[in-house]
A = this chain, B = another copy of it.
């Protein structure tokens, strides 16, 4: 019968035989519950982990070896997740939406709210993301940084802009603050709402020592080399290529986790270069120079973050030194869910 129907049907039939029915995962329901599914007929145990649960959750085996899990209604947000099939940790093979990373990737789903989120691509004027590949004299390799220019920015215009240097975490890439952090959409939306000053955001690459060669012992070396690349290579390139102000009052530095440590270190060490310094869920380095300056200093950490004690010590040290700063403990863990919110909280305060 297949022969009589011709080669197209034969092709479909052979494809169906070879490829089992397509699984829908994630399925985001109207009530904000999410169903995750995985076909794994020979698995003994399948767990789902991610930014929607504090600990891995067992999935349930159903017909045809399809494991599934339906969450409670979730807050509107973007969530990273993985599956663990016996000993094997994998992304969701039915989901093409992924978080790239330097050592590992994750799958992503988005739970929409009743109104658009600050990280959504809304119908507002958009800035442009620029990726620069360059040779770092400080580090001796070729690497990249990403620059956001705000809507209306023109290289041959007259206006000059303040600059935020925005640093990623140890699992990340130079594209992580845009692709995962949605920094460009957060800026577009805050600028459209009149809540942020139009600014340029520079997102450099934080790994100066290769992550495969990183040990607790050379953490200081990474901090030092990264600062050399930032101050000696990235900043001069940005200031040559873009219409930016170059005085300290128009320069901010902020970062998350490893990048939080880097921003606190470079920022506190160079009050003559940066008037604005922020650390999100920071991996706080030892021996930060805690001196009284007129810098704006903004520190935030989630109450469920494994780095909280480290940040509480920093809070105590800043208090003891009598310097001006803001310290806040918020909901959340060591997660992009928190870092997108911190960026949206910080940006309206800058360059005022």
Q: Is A86 part of the binding interface, using a Cβ–Cβ cutoff of 8 Å?
A: yes
**In the complex with contacts A88-B93, A90-B91, A98-B105, A42-B43 CB distance below 8 A:** yes
Contact A133 B142 (CB under 8 A): no
Q: Which B residue's beta carbon lies closest to that of A38? A: B88
- The stretch from A121-129, A249-257, A329-337 touching chain B is A121-129
In the complex, A155→B242 CA distance in Å? Answer: 10
Among A40, A42, A91, A156, find the residue whose CB has the most chain B CB atoms closer than 10 A. A42
| Number of identical protomers | 2
Does A312 interact with chain B (Cβ within 8 Å)?
A: no
Query: Are the C-beta atoms of B129 and A184 separated by less than 8 Å?
Result: no
Contact with B along A1-31 (1 / 0, CB 8 A): 0000000000000000000100000000000
Chain A interface: which size bin?
35 or more
Interface centre among A104, A130, A131 (most CB of B within 10 A): A131
| Docked complex Cα distance between A105 and B97 (Å) | 9
Q: Is the CB of A39 within 8 A of B104?
A: no
Is the C-beta of A41 less than 8 angstroms from some C-beta in chain B? yes
CB pair B20–A87 under 8 Å, yes or no, is yes
Q: Point out the residues of chain B lying under 8 angstroms from A65, CB to CB.
A: 87
A293 at the B interface (CB under 8 A): no
Chain B minimum-CB-distance residue to A171: B96
A133 and B184 contact, Cβ closer than 8 Å, known pairs A98-B98, A100-B96: yes
For the complex, what is the distance from the CA of A105 to the CA of B20, rounded to whole Å?
Answer: 18
Residue in B closest to A22 when the chains form the complex, CB atoms: B103
The reply to whether the CB of A89 lies closer than 8 angstroms to some CB of chain B is yes
A14 to chain B, nearest CB (A): 13
B residues in contact with A96, CB < 8 Å: 100-105
Nearest chain B CB to A85 CB, angstrom units: 8
CB neighbours (8 Å) of A102 from chain B are 96
Complex interface: chain B residues within 8 A of A39 (CB): 87-88
CB distance from A159 to the nearest CB of B (A): 13
Report B-chain residues with C-beta under 8 Å of the C-beta of A128: 130-132
By beta carbon, the residue of chain B nearest A66 is B87
List chain A positions with a Cβ less than 8 A from chain B: 20, 38-44, 65, 85-91, 93, 96, 98, 100-105, 121-123, 126, 128-135, 142, 154-156, 184, 188
Contacts A38-B88, A40-B85 known; 16 new A-B pairs at CB < 8 A = A40-B86, A40-B88, A42-B44, A65-B87, A85-B85, A85-B88, A89-B93, A90-B91, A91-B91, A93-B104, A96-B104, A105-B105, A123-B142, A126-B142, A131-B131, A156-B156
Can you pick out 21 interface pairs between chain A and chain B where the beta carbons lie within 8 Å of each other? A38-B88, A88-B93, A90-B90, A90-B91, A91-B105, A96-B100, A96-B102, A98-B98, A98-B100, A98-B105, A100-B100, A105-B105, A123-B142, A126-B132, A126-B133, A130-B130, A133-B184, A133-B188, A154-B155, A155-B155, A155-B156
